[in-house]
Structure formats: structure tokens, C-alpha cells
Amino acid sequence: MKNLLVLPPNFCAEQGACAFVNPFTSYALIQRALSYKSKGVLNLAANSSLGHMVNKLSKYFGLNCLNVIRGNQNRVDEMKKQFENEFVISQDSQDFSNQIKQLSEQLSINICFDPIGGSITGQVFNNLPQKSVVIIYGSLSGKDIEGINGVQVRWGQKRLEGLTVINWMNEQREQDLEKAKEFIKNNLDTIFKTKIYKAYSFNDVQDAIQECIKIGGGQGYFGKTIKETLAISALTAREEIQNIVRQHNAWIEDRQLYLVMEYCDHNLSDISKNIPVYKQSIFFQIFLKDSIICILKIQCIQTQLKPENMLYHSKQNKFKIADFGLTLVSHKDQLYSNIQEGDSRYIAQELLNYQAEIDLKKADIYSLGISIYQLLIGENLPLNGEEWIELRGNINGNIIDQKLKNQNKELVHIIKQMMHSDPEMRPSTQEILDSIYFKTELLNEIKWQKIKKNNLENEIQNLIIKNSIKRNNSL
């Protein structure tokens, strides 16, 4: 019960999920600074959720706070307004070291809260006043601390300390910990309120993890993403590429990636629900053809194929693939290993074998096949369990035949081939296009168009006869 925080009745679940680690850590940091009789603190990574809490707590307890962010001067000016604090600087500034030295003296700062590590720790440490303390409470950089000048330790009498919230809580007297809990509980809607980026259900935990990887990846991740986005933009600008959602522009703002993309009316999941049964076969034939042609032409491996990422452009009557966040450029006959997999409901089983060399084109074929299977049965696919295994097992398993028993036989046959447990037994993109399914559907469409033409000609002929009779009667 010692490490338990009881939330107020009817408290927002999303905020409740954020009500422990960051609030207690920020509170513990400020209490450490107060215990050292500090008049000011240096707040690294100030634009994080925890950094915002430190800024607010400093103001509450009467401490000066120098906030350090990343970005240009426009970003600094913007964050001054957001923090309601004029003391904001950028670690990307060429004058960063001098700013630390001058403002630390001006604001009587001798405590630094550092969640980053790496070279910035040494840079800040060396420019703080004598007898300063840098409190390490994270390692976002993923690098060892470096660059600390030994003279600053010996003659400057500076030191490093560490802090974890669990250790801090265990060190507190019971009455002090209860006081902390009460303070946090009473300020969850103000000082400790968290900006919720996005909420996921438990069933979408895989997507949530992927999003955390993106957000935690920092500038390196975003730089790579921007390059990939611009590459896709250049690719879709080619006239012959018509089955990818076009991307016109991309930029990063407030650690979020923004895309300007071609507008499509629906995704595959939505539109398939409104297709009459008698039109389903030709609908899936068009969709499958467009998707296969897309994969064939662009020579890319998507690894995130699923109905939500397959969009429909009604004016062009075309299906287009979107979300190339996990795309790889495909080189002929190249195999891959250690691939970042996509949604577990749609991935081929071989993608879970991280060390094996994998033909990702065949993995995309599986994802395409199981996506059509899902739309035909009208049910959600399993995230795991026996059915998940059966859908990736023997091609002759009863589950596919049983659930698709009333569907077009040629379509069922090609879906089973695409979902084969052995990647080498799955058809290539060209083999799918050359299959009897497409030829049969094409012949059926030709016959249907001929019937429509004959019906239209008959209607025109009947209309001519009626008009002729009317003219004769009028005479």
C-alpha cells in the first residue's frame, strides 16, 4: 500500500494512467533541490511532460527555473509563452555553454535535473557554478555520460547524483510520503496534468508500442522518417505510379510528424461493408489487382499491409496503399533479417523469427491474402491464440475452407495460396495477376458489359419505336 496512489472518484482514466511516475519523479526532484537550499534549478528536456511539471512545481515552490529545450529561436520564443517563463534556452544554440554559465549565476542555480545523459551532461556540468549537483533521472540519449572535466569535480566541488522514484518513495518517512500523495492528488488537474498524445485500447497495444518507439526515437528517428517520406513523395510523383497515396509535403513540429497527403474517400474496411454480395467478387478482383500492381511496380516492401492502410479513391475508382512508415526498398532476390514487424493480426509467421533471412515480398503477399480473408468473413482477426496459429498453419486447415465455403471458388483458392504457411509456396505478384481467377473475372466482366450493351441498345430501340408511334398518332 505504500506505493499506491488513490485517485479521486470519476477521475479521467487517461490522466490516471499518467498520475504516478512523472508526478512523483518531478515532486521528488523539487524536494531534493529544496533540501539542498537551492534557489534555482536547471531543467533539461523541459518540453517533456515531466519537464513541464518541473517548471510548474518550481514556480509553486518559489524556485527560479531555467528550461532547456531543442529547436531554433522561434521555438524558444514560443516555449517562453507556453511555460509562462522568460528563462528558456535551446541546447542547439551555438552559445549554449555561455548561456548556461551566465544564467546559472544570474538565477542562483546550483541544481540540474538531467534525463538525457551523453555529452550534454558533461557540457552542462562543466558550466554550472561551484558546488553544483547534477541529478540524473533518465538516459534518453542511450549513451554513457561523457565530457566531465575532472578539475570541475576536484576544485569546483561538483558532483553527480541519481534518482529513481521507487527508491525515493522507499526512503521517505510515512508522513512525508502521505503528504506527497495528498499534494499530487490535489494537483492532478493543474500542475500534474498531462497532455495526452493518443489513447489506445489494450487490443491495439502493438500500435501503441510502435508509436512509443517513434516518439522516443528523437531527432534521429524523425530525420530518417522525413527522408523516407520525401522518397515516397518523389516515387508517387511518377505518372505511372497510381496505386500509392500521394504525399505532397512533410514536416516536424512539437516532436510530431505532419504529412500533407492525397485525399481518399474510404479505407478498405469501411467500403467493403457496403458492397452488395453480388458485387463482392468484382470488388475484390479490382482491389487485389490494384494492390498487386502497386507492389510489383514500386519494388518496395510495405510490412504494414492491412485494410486500414488500403484506401479507396472514388473519383479515380482505384485502391491505393498508405502508411509506408515501415517500408523498405526491395532489391531483387534480397533477403532480410531483424525486421520491425507490423500489426500482429496480419503478419506472416516467419516475421517473428528475428534471426532468419526472410523474403519480405512473400510476407506482404500473406498480409494481402489474410486482409481479403478478414473482409470476406466480416470478423475481427485474432491477435494471438489457437485461431491465430491455425491461420498460419497447414494450407489444408479446415478454418479457411469452412469460413469461405460460400465464396467464389477461384478467389478462395488464390487466398489460400497467398496464406500458405511456406513462403516459397506463396505465389509471386505476377503469378497472381496471371491466375485463372483474374482471367475468369475478366471474362465475366466482358460478358456483363456485353449484356449491359445489349440491354441499352434494346432500350434505345424501344424508345425510337415509341417516339415513332407518337409522331404517327399526332398526324
Write the CB contacts of 317 (distance below 8 Å, at least 6 apart in sequence): 286
Closest of 266, 242, 297, 263 to residue 375, by C-alpha: 266
Burial class (CB in 10 A: 0-12, 13-18, 19+), 45: buried
pLDDT (tens place) for every residue of the chain, 475 residues total: 567 888 888 888 888 888 899 999 999 999 999 999 999 999 999 999 999 999 999 999 999 999 999 888 988 999 999 999 999 999 999 999 999 999 999 999 999 999 999 999 999 999 999 999 999 999 888 889 999 999 999 999 999 999 999 999 999 999 999 999 999 999 999 999 998 877 877 667 667 766 666 655 555 555 556 666 666 666 666 666 677 787 777 666 665 667 777 888 887 777 666 665 555 556 666 666 666 666 655 555 555 678 777 888 888 877 787 765 544 444 444 444 444 556 788 888 887 765 556 777 888 888 888 988 888 888 888 888 888 888 887 654 578 888 888 888 888 888 888 899 888 899 887 888 777 666 665 566 666 677 778 888 888 888 887 777 777 776 6
Partnered with residue 311 across adjacent β-strands are 267, 320
Task: Quote the pLDDT of residue 29.
Answer: 97
Task: Quote the pLDDT of residue 397.
Answer: 57
Any idea what DSSP says for residue 8? P
CA distance 282 to 221: 41
Partnered with residue 135 across adjacent β-strands are 113, 161
Count the helix, strand and coil residues of the chain and give each as a percent rounded to the nearest 5.
Answer: 50, 10, 35
Q: What's the CATH code, domain 266-456?
A: 1.10.510.10
What's the Cα-to-Cα distance from 199 to each of 17, 308, 377, rounded to whole Å? 10, 18, 28
Q: Name the residue ranges covered by the structural domains of the chain.
A: 13-186, 204-261, 266-456
Instruction: Check if the beta carbon of residue 297 is closer than 8 Å to that of residue 240.
Output: yes
Task: Quote the pLDDT of residue 324.
Answer: 57
CA distance 93 to 70: 9
**Taking the mean position of all CA atoms in its chain, how far away is CA 69?**
23
Task: Quote the pLDDT of residue 149.
Answer: 93
Tell which phi-psi region holds residue 66, choosing left (phi > 0), alpha (psi between -120 and 50) or beta. beta
HSE-CB of 315 using CA atoms within 13 angstroms: 4
Helix runs in 348-418, H state only: 360-377, 386-390, 398-403, 409-418
Amino acid identity, position 222: F
Instruction: Check if the beta carbon of residue 290 is closer than 8 Å to that of residue 312.
Output: no
Q: Which CATH number fits domain 13-186: 3.40.50.2020, 3.40.50.12280, 3.40.50.720, 3.40.605.10?
A: 3.40.50.720
**Helix or strand holding residue 134 (H, E):** strand 133-136
Q: The dihedral of CA 455, 458, 460, 462: what is its sign?
A: negative
Q: What are phi and psi of 474, to 5 degrees?
A: -70, -30
Report residue 26 as a C-alpha cell.
Answer: 518531478
- The distance in angstroms from the start CA to the end CA of the chain is 102
Fold match, 13-186 / 266-456? no
